[in-house]
A and B are shown apart, each in its own frame.
Chain A
Amino acid sequence: MKYSASHISVEMGQSALRYFQGFMPEFSFTDLQALLQYCQVRKFPRKAKLVEEGEVDDYLNIVLSGLVRKYVRSNNKDQTLQLATEGHVVHSELSFLTRQPSLAILETLEPTQLLSLRFDKMEEALEHFPQGERMGRLMLTAMYIKKDERRYARASKTVRELFLDYVAHHPHMLQRVPQKYLASYLNIKPETFSRLKHLGRKSQKINGSSKRS
């Protein structure tokens, strides 16, 4: 089945368009329509596994709505690597690109709709979509930069700075994501996370009241 822009809502189309224009400003609505020929929309309920450990990941996904958690199992503990919301790319890169079994697991935390490009369709798109190669390169570049910035932040900042930065940039995530996953994503002990959250709320109150006076 072929998909076109009419298969996804205007809002989702906008969200996809914004994503592509983020690294390729000249990307147009016509380009999106052409690209959608290679894509499919996949819908999942909450708590669905998109990829299990050991499976080969066949899809590159952009989140149209919902929330996907990417994590690895490490000594019986889960380590969250990514919390992908609307407009984010999520997949098991290493498995998808090398066709090897995945070490990472992808799971939905909310009912989720994905714009997905299957590996073989990606190869077709790279060949036939006029700006495919350029787009692929820019998309990979954007992914690399994002992950490197996160790695650098994690290695160079204190736990407290990491927490405050994250909350400032993703205020809605505290409501959407269970605390244990956020703590794991930020590599903060759950107790520390609770304490920081509490402190954050207190200082907000103090700031709030001083503004009024």
Chain B
Amino acid sequence: MDGPEETFEQALASHLPRLRRFAHGLARDAADADDLTQRTAERALRSRDQWQPGTRFDSWTYRIMRNLWIDTARSRQRRDKVLAPAEFGDTVGALGDAESQMELHYLMRAMNRLPAEQREAVALVMLEGLAYAEAAHVLDVPIGTLTSRLVRGRQALMILLAGTQA
């Protein structure tokens, strides 16, 4: 039972909750985020041969998730063009037991207002705590590009969320 096979699965299993958090930073709602997490786990298991031991496992899985998300988002964009966007801010002030869920939902919608390339940069650095160099590696962009997307994304969030409090 020892060996690289088990190590791979254990690594994936223990990384899944963080992948799921990243998914919530990218996806438009919780159901999509869980679907994305599921598909990422499946893709990682199928592509296990492509992971190079000695490289960072978490970066590799973040990259898989990000690529799956981009594919989904592209096809969805075409489909959703005819639909009116929901009003941002309609959940402000929601109270009760579901308050924390509402806050998450609210922040996810704020994230969804960002262009994709800002959203993924913010999710990797601000939510997942990746170093700039590591995030740039996951996204396959120069570090300067990553940094400027990150700054613009956070500035946009600041404006979107101004005056609303958790």
Q: Do A and B bind each other?
A: no
Residues of A near any B CB (own CB < 8 A) = none
- Interfacial residues, chain B to chain A (CB-CB below 8 A): none
